[in-house]
Amino acid sequence: MTIYEQGLAQNSANFTPLSPLSLLRRAASIYPDKTAVIHQQRRLTWGEVFYRCQRVASTLAKRGIGKGDTVAILSANTPEMFEAHFAVPMAGAVLNAINMRLDAATVSFILQHGEAKLLMVDKEFGPLAQSALERMSSPPAIVHIDDPSCDIGHLVGSESYADLISAGEPGEIGVDATDYLPDDEWDAIALNYTSGTTGNPKGVVYHHRGAYLNAVSNALSWHMGDHPVYLWTLPMFHCNGWCFPWTLAANAGVSVCLRQVRDDAVYEAIAEHKVTHFCGAPIVLNTLLAADERLKALVTHEVKVMTAGAPPPASIIQGMQAQGIDVTHVYGLTETYGPVTLCAWREDLWGSRNPADQAELKARQGVGAPMLEGLMVADPETLLPVARDGQTMGEVMMRGNNVMKGYLKNHAATDEAFAGGWFHSGDLAVWFEDGYIKIMDRSKDIIISGGENISSIEIEDVLYRHELISEAAVVARSDEKWGETPCAFVTLVADAEPLSEQQVIDYCADNLARFKLPKTVVFMDLPKTSTGKVQKFALREIAEGLPT
């Protein structure tokens, strides 16, 4: 026994399990009268959110829902969806926020695989929930969310979210959060399903400690300060809104809810509520860039956007920066609670660069965020780091508290993901001398042509710079001579002059090495997953079916 183990035991005075629930207690105790949530004409303060969450948690507990039980929710970005991120774990249960863009069969699979005891359903998605539940032999109990601003869909079940609140016992904020914190910070807090393009999605399990740390990491890495005004353009079902419901409790911010992400709704909300921060995939930024100039003119104050979900073309970053919206590029996966790296900006090194160069630098996935303990680009077999030369590709690997517990009921997939003590992302990247990484492709999307590795992302980035191309995706197509060649799928901007296949290839030839040029160009609308990612597996099928 060392001198530091003598009489220095862990106790309630010096150790508290980390959980984002303590962030809610703090926000409510210090700022009970400050606005927490805005949705249309509704406004809730932090004090009101706390008491509503306590009541819901109390009702769940009365009904025998507690530690290890799953409570699912199918909802747009509403106050109830926001509150569920606190109310469900306050009861000790695990929140499963389901992607409402999924089909009924997949929703049914998720409910059964996660063994949901209760399902909360937003009115808009009543028909989807009903269809999913009809496929189940033992469906969960149903609670509907009746949003007055929603005029589509229908209510399912006889009990409402308001009934959960009224049936619960009121509580006190108290001097600490120990009344409802987990006994063990390793306890599960959330269950999120990957948006896989083939097969059943995998259930990713988060713990309280990781959720707490990633929530704080968001606030630190984005320099959010106190009381930011955050617009919910990112779905809260997506990695629990990248942990931002919990972040907004950490800094007592304001959540401005948005049911639908349309350019007019986004710009008008930014102007009306003086939004300071919002998140979105590159496709969302592309939509905003294509908006009418009248809408863009509504932004007259400083706004910051965090983008991830797919490697953003430098042209999109440059366009947002030119509009006065500062872009922070982050990277992560469902398995890492959302963003765990960011392209930390070095004004001292890059501030004098021209806008195009700055956009190229910002397009990198960057370095580990404050709470990530390990990040490397390495050979997946040997686990040896690749050279930091900006050219040698390897797999992105992470380790730390903000990596998932594992995949629910899937030991084999969990062991594979954690092989060698690192989380294997499946993303291929290069590592630069300054320690910043840049994603080049998913391991399954790399194109090997004549023995040369070609990054589909590099070609896509060039295509996005063309003024007449609004979207682009590149996949491998089988070739008798080369093995594989790049096949480009492009969507032209609305009302654009027609482009020929050869014109696109010639444009690429001005910007790429010859062996990287697409040999085929297809003009079409790109198929996407429910989270807005391009379905490259579908494009590969189309490419293989093209006439030679």
Percent of the chain past pLDDT 90, that is, above it, reads 77
Q: Tokens 């590099």 — which residue? A: 458
Please report which helix (H) or strand (E) contains residue 378, including its range.
strand 374-378
The whole-angstrom separation of Cα 97 and Cα 240 is: 7
pLDDT band at 446 (very low <50, low <70, confident <90, very high): confident
C-beta separation of 253 from 26 below 8 A:
no
The whole-angstrom separation of Cα 204 and Cα 126 is: 25
Looking at residue 346, its pLDDT comes to 95
Q: Among 236, 237, 208, which Cα is nearest to 401's?
A: 208
Q: Which residue has the higher pLDDT, 529 or 283?
A: 283
3-state secondary structure 173-232: CCCCCCCCCCCCCCCEEEEEECCCCCCCCCEEEEEHHHHHHHHHHHHHHCCCCCCCEEEC
Q: How high does pLDDT run on average in the chain?
A: 93
C-beta separation of 27 from 33 below 8 A:
no
Q: Which two tokens stand for residue 394?
A: 């390897």
- pLDDT for 210-231, tens place per residue? 999 999 999 999 999 999 999 9
Looking at residue 282, its pLDDT comes to 84
> Could you tell me where the beta strands, DSSP code E, fall in 432-533?
437-442, 447-449, 452-454, 469-479, 483-492, 520-523
- pLDDT for 272-319, tens place per residue? 999 999 998 887 898 899 899 999 999 999 999 999 877 678 888 999
Sheet hosting strand 374-378, strand order edge to edge: 374-378, 393-399, 423-431, 437-442
- pLDDT for 460-494, tens place per residue? 989 999 999 999 999 999 887 787 899 999 999 98
- pLDDT for 45-70, tens place per residue? 999 999 999 999 999 999 999 999 99
Q: Which amino acid is located at 511 in the chain?
A: N
Please report which helix (H) or strand (E) contains residue 278, including its range.
strand 277-280
Please say if the pLDDT value at position 198 is more than 50: no
**Tally of CB atoms within 10 A around 514:** 7
Please say if the pLDDT value at position 78 is more than 60: yes
Q: Which amino acid is located at 65 in the chain?
A: I
Looking at residue 530, its pLDDT comes to 63
Percent of the chain past pLDDT 70, that is, above it, reads 97
- Tell me what the mean pLDDT of segment 431-455 comes to: 84
The whole-angstrom separation of Cα 326 and Cα 347 is: 13
The whole-angstrom separation of Cα 41 and Cα 32 is: 19
- pLDDT for 147-166, tens place per residue? 999 999 999 999 999 999 99
Please report which helix (H) or strand (E) contains residue 375, including its range.
strand 374-378
C-beta separation of 181 from 22 below 8 A:
yes
Looking at residue 195, its pLDDT comes to 64
Please say if the pLDDT value at position 12 is more than 80: yes
Q: Tokens 């010639």 — which residue? A: 506
**Whole-structure pTM value:** 0.86
> Could you tell me where the beta strands, DSSP code E, fall in 92-162?
94-97, 116-122, 141-145
Highest mean pLDDT among 2-16, 123-137, 166-180, 453-467: 123-137
In terms of phi and psi (left: phi > 0; alpha: psi -120 to 50; beta: otherwise), the region of 241 is left
Instruction: Please give the C-alpha separations between residue 501 and each of 361, 449, 464, 488, 514, in angstroms, as whole numbers.
Output: 30, 20, 15, 10, 16
- pLDDT for 316-329, tens place per residue? 899 999 999 999 99
Looking at residue 197, its pLDDT comes to 45
Looking at residue 176, its pLDDT comes to 66
**Tally of CB atoms within 10 A around 518:** 28
Give the single-character DSSP code of 345.
Answer: -
Q: Domains along the chain?
A: 447-545 (3.30.300.30)
Please say if the pLDDT value at position 29 is more than 50: yes
The whole-angstrom separation of Cα 309 and Cα 4 is: 45
- Give the 3-state secondary structure of residue 417: helix
The whole-angstrom separation of Cα 129 and Cα 392 is: 47
Q: Among 77, 332, 64, 24, which Cα is nearest to 204's?
A: 332
Looking at residue 501, its pLDDT comes to 95
R_g (Cα) of the chain, nearest Å: 24
DSSP secondary structure, 74-101, as one string: E--S-HHHHHHHHHHHHTT-EEEE--TT
